[in-house]
Amino acid sequence: MAKVCMLTLEHSPKDDRIFYKEACSLKEAGFDVYILCRAEPDGGMWDMGKKQLLNPGGEEMIEIQGVKIIGVPFVESKLDLFLFKGFRDSFSSKFIEKALELNADVYHAHEPSSAFLGQKVVSRLQNAKLVFDMHESWLGTKRKESLIKLLLLPKLQYMITANPMTRGHLMKQNPDMKVKVIYNYPQKKYFNFPPEKKNFEKTVLAHEGLIPFNRGLKEMLAAFIEVLNKGNEVELIIIGETSGEEKEYLNEYIEKYKLEKNITETGWLNYEKVPQALSEANVGLIFKTPDLNNVLGGPSIKLFNYFASSMAVFDVGLPESERFMDLSENGISVLKRDVSTISEALSELTSSPELRLRYAQNGYKKFMEEMNWEEESKQLVNFYHWYLLNKKPYIKR
């Protein structure tokens, strides 16, 4: 049985892609799977929203669904925080030491920082391989990130990305890598909301996940009030929670326009509860701004979750979202991002239950046939067998 060690410094060990999709799928395929993560200084390991402590008894290792999760406590002394900038701190040393103890066949890193430490690990093991799962953009705009990219990218042999743009962007800089695109498709076992089970007579909009200013909070609210002012009956559910300046802005906006009955915020929900919240809506919103990070980091997981929840999709013209919407014919994508254009497009959706239903049916059909994790996970397992564990100089596909 081959041993896989997932590495993460910046994600929760129960991140949806890391745990629910990749780790659990590899476990089901017969691999011995570990997740080595950065824990709090007191050893605590948290769920994604940092609402649920995964090891309330302070255990160094826990096991969930057959996946073993090990935390390495972070050290926050002034000296260690300074040395961490160059990975010369005591935490980095202990993280590498623990990874070496596991003696895995494959180390599967999920950020530039964990990939950097993973490279140090495999360089000290005879047959271990490192794969970098770049499921977010890697622009290298920050000084530390830029240095990691300069030092690490030429050494990488295996990479997984979540879209072809990131794949092309990075292969241009290292064309010798074996790279596989593995999309963040939803799992059928959590999404069972075919269109015939839903109500499309009343318009209920939803935005899943964080909605900071650079993901379009202001534009979304301004367009929403214009849609209401046109006489449309519409509700908005924010699935997740805002914080800081965004929370203050949202609350002031709701109070100013008396939107208490029109806008609700669920608060943070764990992964298993998000599908049920999405099932209450029939139009899914994507308002990300078109900065390079959002463009290269797309498509949003929420896009695929909207497909799986039988929702029409509204998007502000991000290229990867548009590509999937073209394939599915399941929503509206605006050509301009001004509020009047957005509100006009949303009004078309809110005024036609038939249009919402047709878009929802098209998206759900794509989800059931091909855009689901049950199908996509086969690509992950094949990548492991073909490239990471193959002892022969050729591939039998």
pLDDT digits (tens, 9 = 90+) for 309-363: 999 999 998 888 999 999 999 999 998 889 999 999 999 999 999 999 999 999 9
Q: Any residues with CB less than 8 A from the CB of 311 and at least 6 apart, and which?
A: 206, 278, 281, 282, 283, 284, 359, 360, 363
Pairwise CA distance, residues 184 & 42, whole Å: 32
Strands 61-64 and 67-73: antiparallel
Closest CA to 291 of 214, 205, 234, 209: 214
Task: Pull the structure tokens for residue 182.
Answer: 């593995």
pLDDT at site 140: 58
Report pLDDT for 139.
67
* Helices 112-122 + 90-102 axis angle, to 10: 60
Task: Identify the CA nearest to 166 among candidates 191, 190, 184.
Answer: 184
Sheet holding 312-315, edge to edge: 263-265, 234-239, 203-208, 283-286, 312-315, 331-333
Task: Check: CB of residue 214 under 8 Å from CB of residue 288.
Answer: yes
Report the predicted TM-score, pTM, of the whole model to 2 decimal places: 0.94
Residue 141 is predicted with a pLDDT of 61
Distances (CA, A) of 396 to 4, 125, 128, 390, 392: 22, 27, 21, 10, 9
Task: Write out the residue limits of the CATH 3.40.50.2000 domain(s) in the chain.
Answer: 3-185+373-388, 195-369
Q: Which two tokens stand for residue 382?
A: 């094949």
Any idea which architecture 195-369 has in CATH? Answer: 3-Layer(aba) Sandwich (3.40)
CA dist 382 to 95, 172, 267, 393, Å?
Answer: 29, 24, 38, 16
Instruction: Give the pLDDT of residue 144.
Output: 80
Closest CA to 380 of 160, 158, 135, 152: 160
- Phi-psi map region of 228: left, alpha, beta (phi>0 left; psi -120 to 50 alpha): alpha
User: pLDDT tens per residue, the chain (397 residues)?
Assistant: 899 999 999 999 999 999 999 999 999 999 999 999 999 999 999 999 888 999 999 999 999 999 999 999 999 899 988 888 889 999 999 999 999 999 999 999 999 999 999 999 999 999 999 999 998 777 656 778 888 888 999 999 999 999 898 898 889 999 999 999 999 999 999 999 999 989 999 999 999 988 888 888 999 999 999 999 988 889 999 999 899 999 999 999 999 999 999 999 999 999 999 999 999 999 999 998 777 777 777 788 999 999 999 999 999 988 889 999 999 999 999 988 899 999 999 999 999 999 999 999 999 999 999 999 999 999 999 999 999 988 777 777 7
Answer for the pair 43, 60: CB distance below 8 angstroms, yes or no: yes
CA–CA separation, 285 vs 303, rounded Å? 8
Give 211-262 pLDDT, tens digit per residue. Answer: 888 888 999 999 999 999 988 889 999 999 899 999 999 999 999 999 999 9
Strands 263-265 and 283-286: what pairing?
Answer: unpaired
Strand pairing report for 129-134 and 331-333: unpaired
Q: What does the pLDDT read at residue 45?
A: 98
At 281 the three-state DSSP class reads coil
Classify domain 3-185+373-388 by CATH architecture.
3-Layer(aba) Sandwich (3.40)
Residue 178 carries which side chain, given as an amino acid letter? K
Rounded to whole angstroms, how far apart are CA atoms 189 and 186? 9
Mark 52-70 as b/e (b = at least 16 C-beta within 10 Å): eebbeeeeeebeeeebbbb
